[in-house]
Structure 1
Amino acid sequence: MTRLKHYIEYLFVRFLYWLLGTFPEWMMRAVARFLAFIMRFVIHYRSTVIDVNLELAFPEKSKAERKQIKNKFYYHIALFFLEFIRGPKVTDQYLEERIIIEDDTALKKYIGKPVLLVSGHIGEFNLWLMLMVKYLGTHLNVIFKDQRNPYTSQMNVDFRYACGQKPIFSKGAIKKCIELLEAKEYIGFLNDQNPWDRGINVNFFGHEAPTMKGLAIFKEQFDYPILQGYVVRDEQKGMYRFWINELEIEKSDDQETYYKNILQASNDHLEAAVKRFPDQYLWSHRRWRIEYHELEKL
């Protein structure tokens, strides 16, 4: 019975991906506005989490300003989902025509050399992954969480391959990443996941934020340069913007201090990007070390 249920779910998801993938851009934006309205005013998708996060990040802003960011965020996340589905159809020509390159000096400097590539849950991070594939001229390994439904899980694996990405399953990911880095393969990290008690606490918008320590482990072991960048949407121009920089890490003989320096540098870089494009960060993400579940009950 479970297998049949999974297969029906898979057929529905596959049909949905096909249908939405046929929409022209103007229709995608119209659908995104509709979905944003549903999430914001009908189902109130993670409304409390978003409110709490925005107040933590921007206490200096008025309630009206934070409300405006919240409303724009719902539109952003809806449009991101629709654009994500189009991933396999995105060509190099599309990337060249639609992305404004603000700064790619660091990336060009290290082409053909081993690096650690980092982004965060801001803007069009799936486009960022595809842009990295274009620059590098080879596939990019990405950490991938397996799903309970084997059919949709395999569909997502195939989807990643079609986008030039090679999935690394989250179970045993650190060991696999070390093997890949030893072979000088490229890995793309989204380093603002909240691992709770399995991470290292560093500052993000003035508050303690548990941060995955994999990046710090890999930096210490291989000492590859860390390049961190983003692709964000420029609504006024109907384009995207891309920039990437090499992180400057303060050295330390103490491992714990060095790990914190690495992760703090990454968080600081992301924070600067979020301040620039506040409506395009994943505010529905439980980022900080607070009891979100208790707050959602209020």
Structure 2
Amino acid sequence: MQFLAYIIIYPFLWMISILPFKVLYFISDILYIFLFKIFGYRKKTVKENLKLVFPNKSHAEIQAITSAFYHHLCDMILETIKSMTISEAEMNKRFKFTNIDVINTLGEKHKSIVLMCAHYASWEWIFIMQKHVKHKGYGIYKRLANKYFDRLVKRIRARYNTYLITTKETIPTLIQSKKDGELSISGFASDQSPKAHKAFHWTEFMGIKVPVYTGAEMLAKKLDMAVVFFNVEKVKRGHYQATFKTITETPKDYPDYTITEAFLKLVEKQIYDDPRYYLWTHKRWKHRDKVPKAFQ
């Protein structure tokens, strides 16, 4: 059944991916009508999240952010499909880096990097970065249930010399990478919600205490990797600008969880500056009423 689904769906995805951007965004506008106006995909979750973290915003303001978010979400879906066939030149034109020298300077110091990212603006086109740096790129991801689509995603990422590894593969892969003297950069999207009973740390995110992922920080300390924050802005439709901010080159010097909290503060700033481009469909604050006594 997995293969059948793949051979039925893949041709449609490929045909969409070769369309020019003007047509692509026309399809996105139609998708917005269905996703937001007709089906209301996760609309309740989106509005609950926005009301929770922006209690002082009016109903009209929440409505405006919600609508703009769904427009952006539909663009992201189509841009992800476009990744299948987009040229390197086109990608470089649409996803620019303001200070790639931050990464290359760390490379000159032979520092491998933990790149901490959020589900903000565009995280799908980050992989073009590998064409501008000497580090070998690893992306930590959750394996897709359909093994054929999983292979497709890996193949798309590999176009720009990025290798996807699962959470379970991360530690042994990066330990071996260090033993081999490899210069690596590993991307972690660390802003979503871990299972409450497995969380090592709880802290405030957007003013609400929640469990947080700490794996990126712990790995950076274990392997003495620099920690860099990846900030993305949406300049206009289909165009993004990324800026790197070094959190620390010496993670072992920091008390546990302070690096994670510094990362979350930077994510908060992104969201407060422009909430339209954060991924509001996930129940990020679902464990807020389950704070263990040790963390209260």
TM-score by length of 2: 0.85
CA distance in 2, matches of 1:272, 1:8: 44
CA distance in 2, matches of 1:152, 1:108: 33
Aligned counterpart, 2:285: 288
CA positional deviation for 1:95: 4.0
Aligned counterpart, 2:239: 239
CA positional deviation for 1:74: 0.8
Q: 121, 124, 128: which is aligned to 2:122? A: 124
| Contact in 2 for aligned 1:226/1:246 (Cα 8 Å) | yes
CA distance in 2, matches of 1:252, 1:161: 32
After superposing the two structures, state which structure 1 stretch, 212-221 or 92-101, moved more.
Answer: 92-101
| Contact in 1 for aligned 2:137/2:161 (Cα 8 Å) | yes
Q: 173, 178, 191: which is aligned to 1:176? A: 173
> How many residue pairs were aligned?
283
Identity within the alignment, %: 21
Aligned counterpart, 2:258: 261
Aligned counterpart, 1:221: 222
CA positional deviation for 1:100: 4.8
Q: 72, 81, 84: which is aligned to 1:76? A: 72
| Contact in 2 for aligned 1:210/1:289 (Cα 8 Å) | no
CA distance in 2, matches of 1:137, 1:248: 20
User: Alpha-carbon deviations, 1:16-46, whole Å to 9, x = none?
Assistant: 2211102111111111111111111222111
Unpaired runs of 5+ residues, structure 1, are 293-298
| Contact in 1 for aligned 2:214/2:260 (Cα 8 Å) | yes
TM-score by length of 1: 0.85
CA positional deviation for 1:284: 0.4
Distance 1:153 1:20, change over 3 A: same
Question: Which structure has the highest helix share of the two?
Answer: 1
**AA of the residue aligned to 2:224:** D
Are residues 1:38 and 2:37 paired?
Answer: no
CA distance in 2, matches of 1:31, 1:74: 14
Unpaired runs of 5+ residues, structure 2, are 290-296
User: Alpha-carbon deviations, 1:65-113, whole Å to 9, x = none?
Assistant: 1111111111111111111122243444334433454444533421343
CA positional deviation for 1:219: 2.4
CA distance in 2, matches of 1:164, 1:16: 26
CA distance in 2, matches of 1:291, 1:270: 18
CA positional deviation for 1:160: 2.2
CA positional deviation for 1:181: 4.5
